[in-house]
Structure 1
Amino acid sequence: MTYYDKLHVEGEFEEVIGKTTDALSDEGFGILSDIDVSNAFEKKLGIEDYPEYRILGACNPPLAKQGLDTERDLGVLLPCNVVIYETDDSVVVSAVDPEAMLSVVDNPEMEDIASDVRTRFDRVLETLADK
């Protein structure tokens, strides 16, 4: 079982971040955190040439509330991460598979929420593939 879905996207790194953020917004997700891993490696480790790598912490508030109301400790798995990074020939967008992630929660009530998030993330990736 894989724990993510990914897509190679044409375009400049910052442009792909913008498109990804817009596609997530269209599906009801806001960005709670934006972690610039490359910048952190430069500041903390002195690595100046690490390829661009960002982790966006995406959250859909109504779904997050539903999940937390169902399973109070779910917060340890939130927000849902979307990773954007450079390779030699493209930019990759990788999103956590919420069904795989939430399969560790022993609560059948979480299955519908995970399925909903999965469907929304699939549409985000489809939107990016179409651009």
Structure 2
Amino acid sequence: MTAFTLSSTVRRPYDRTLAAVRDALAGQGFGILTEIDLKATLKSKLDVDVQPEIILGACRPALAYRALRAEPSIAAVLPCNVVVRSVDAETTVVEAFDPSAMIALAGTTTLNDVAAEARTRLAAALAVVEQEN
């Protein structure tokens, strides 16, 4: 785990992990607003081959609204990015931007409650992904 992500490495193929992440996020009330397929994008733009990797822009509207009311400029780091990255045929890494880092970016404590709830929900989603076989 880095200083700005919540991370989990699972022994499960990429496609199954991606499906589990989607389900786990939905279970915590997050919808997926955006998807960036890094493998496809890098292939089309640079003609390079990389392992499968996708960035999911996850949003829980009630939390986003609370964050925006507390600090309108926080919109620059919304939605919460969740990355699913293949390491090999049987190993996948899942990383989510740690909402606690949002507090440092904003330089204010007005987001403490929102960041804490978002962090708890993202960590719970990662825990579900870790437990699934």
Q: Deviation per CA, 1:35-86, whole angstroms, max 9, x where unpaired?
A: 0011001101011x31111100000000001111111111101011000101
Write out the 4+ residue segments of structure 1 that deviate beyond 2 Å after TM superposition: none
Separation (CA, whole Å) in 1 of partners of 2:103 and 2:33: 19
Give the 5 Å matches for 1:91-130.
91-130=92-131
Contact 2:52 2:86 in 1 (8 A): yes
AA of the residue aligned to 1:109? T
Report the TM-score, using the length of structure 1 for normalisation: 0.94
Matched residue, 2:59:
59
AA of the residue aligned to 2:106? V
Deviation at 1:13, TM superposition (A): 1.2
Count of matched residue pairs: 130
> Structure 2 stretches of 5 or more lacking a match?
none
SS in 2 for 1:85: strand
SS in 1 for 2:105: coil
Give the 5 Å matches for 1:38-57.
38-47=39-48, 49-57=49-57
Matched residue, 1:87:
87
Report the TM-score, using the length of structure 2 for normalisation: 0.92
> Structure 1 stretches of 5 or more lacking a match?
none
SS in 1 for 2:106: coil
Separation (CA, whole Å) in 2 of partners of 1:33 and 1:102: 23
Matched residue, 1:2:
3
SS in 1 for 2:63: helix
AA of the residue aligned to 2:36? I
SS in 2 for 1:109: coil
Deviation at 1:109, TM superposition (A): 1.5
Separation (CA, whole Å) in 2 of partners of 1:129 and 1:38: 24
